[in-house]
Amino acid sequence: MRTLQVELGERSYPIYIGSGLLEKIGELSLEHGISAKSPHLIVTDERVAPHYLQMVEDRMAEAGFTTVSHVVPAGETSKSLAVFEQVMTTAIQGKLDRSSAVFALGGGVVGDLAGFVAATYMRGVTFVQIPTTILAHDSSVGGKVAVNHPLAKNMIGAFHQPVMVLYDVDTLSSLPARDVSAGLSEMVKHGLILDEEFAYWCRDHASELLALDPEALAYGLERGCAIKADVVSQDEREGGLRAILNLGHTIGHAIEAVGGYGRFLHGEAISIGMAGSALLAETLGRGNHLFEQTREMLSALNLPVVLPSDVSVDEIMDAMQHDKKFTEGRMVFIVPDQIGKVSIVNDVPVNAVRSVVEQLKKEG
């Protein structure tokens, strides 16, 4: 078992990564001071529940805990205020009190939803994350929790840190190949922004990662979490530095929106976005060969790096205007300087961005 400590003062917490960890959920909960006198809530989705819910409930019961469970439909639609209210109903009917904890058993959607419940139930209770996807290694560090508003994603949320993250790599074995690649997209992103060596490690170990080799996965997840934890420790509330984690996300979110949040997975969209950021660096005269190097890494992980020819450049440009990252009308982009190093560039001309999106499409 690997243990990574996320340093956030009195809100610091460990991420446990390894094989067979789900079996230890009861004893780890006791170790982390979760009260056996109060009932707790497990939130999961219909895809994860058949595999792991019973086991988590059983291990918790064996350790002396009372739990209630709430299973939401799989997918982004569960990040709504309506589903949020239903989970709250289960919490109230289960008589959760201020000493209770909310456990998120699942991927990013379940983590965001259950985390927002934990952040706001009785003005905040204990939160435990049990990620079951590779992508969730990203959302399990940083304390960002949220639900969607019909007009915009992640508009309603909070910062709420878990008391522990329990990452059992065995749970990843049931992931479809496309989700594996999409999850590795955020992993290699952490290399691209801050750790050249790790970025190349991801490329060189692509076949083991894609085959879900437990050793390679555990190392990759630990390194990805560690890089993100470093950034978050320095900027918990997203004042400045944390913005570098958005590499590829401005174009990526626009691609997701234009695809109706169904055509492209988040990791696929930001892969294309990261390729776009590399093109933008070249367009702005900030670097050479960056697109070629970035594309090679992403392609090794079976990730898309160009836009399909039927996607409209105008629609992508329009969707970008709604992005949260445009504070006070300025346009901000995260742009690579080299592999493993990025800059936050303010006032990027819209024309340069349009030219990049057009190139991404031409290549496709």
The set of catalytic residues is 123, 144, 186, 228, 238, 242, 246, 249, 253, 266
To the nearest whole angstrom, how small is the minimum distance from the Cβ of residue 145 to a second copy?
8
To the nearest whole angstrom, how small is the minimum distance from the Cβ of residue 98 to a second copy?
6
Three-class secondary structure of residue 38 per DSSP: coil
Is 294 labeled as ligand-binding?
no
Residues 166-225 that bind a second copy (CB under 8 A): none
Q: Which stretch binds a second copy (CB under 8 A): 63-71, 107-115, 296-304, 321-329?
A: 321-329
Among 119, 225, 231, 335, binds a second copy (CB under 8 A): 119
* 305 contacts 275 by C-beta, under 8 angstroms: yes
DSSP assignment string, 190-213: HHHHH-HHHHHHHHHTHHHHHTT-
Is 112 labeled as ligand-binding?
yes
Number of residues near a second copy (by CB under 8 A)? 37
Q: Which stretch binds a second copy (CB under 8 A): 43-51, 83-91, 188-196, 257-265?
A: 83-91
Which of 77, 83, 34 minimizes the C-alpha distance to 59? 34
For the chain, the farthest-separated pair of C-alpha atoms sits apart, in whole angstroms, at 61
Among 1, 61, 152, 177, binds a second copy (CB under 8 A): 152
Residues 87-116 that bind a second copy (CB under 8 A): 88-89, 92-93, 97-99
* 253 contacts 153 by C-beta, under 8 angstroms: yes
What are the backbone dihedrals phi and psi of residue 95, each rounded to the nearest 5 degrees, phi first?
60, 35
Q: Which stretch binds a second copy (CB under 8 A): 146-154, 173-181, 220-228, 245-253?
A: 146-154
Residues 222-251 that bind a second copy (CB under 8 A): 237-238
* 304 contacts 272 by C-beta, under 8 angstroms: yes
The answer to whether residue 157 forms part of the interface with a second copy (CB under 8 A) is: yes
- The alpha carbons of the chain give a radius of gyration, in whole angstroms, of 20
Is 109 labeled as ligand-binding?
yes
Nearest-angstrom CA–CA distance, 96 and 192 = 42
Is 72 labeled as ligand-binding?
no
User: In the complex with a second copy, which residue's Cβ is closer, 42 or 125?
Assistant: 125
DSSP assignment string, 259-313: TTTTSS-HHHHHHHHHHHHHHHHHHTTS-SSHHHHHHHHHHHTT---S--TTS-H
* 220 contacts 209 by C-beta, under 8 angstroms: yes
Which of 89, 133, 98 minimizes the C-alpha distance to 112? 133
The answer to whether residue 146 forms part of the interface with a second copy (CB under 8 A) is: yes
The answer to whether residue 86 forms part of the interface with a second copy (CB under 8 A) is: no
Is 340 labeled as ligand-binding?
no
Provide the binding-site residues for a second copy, judged by CB under 8 A.
35, 37-38, 81, 84-85, 88-89, 92-93, 97-99, 119-124, 144, 146, 149-152, 155-159, 237-238, 324, 326-329
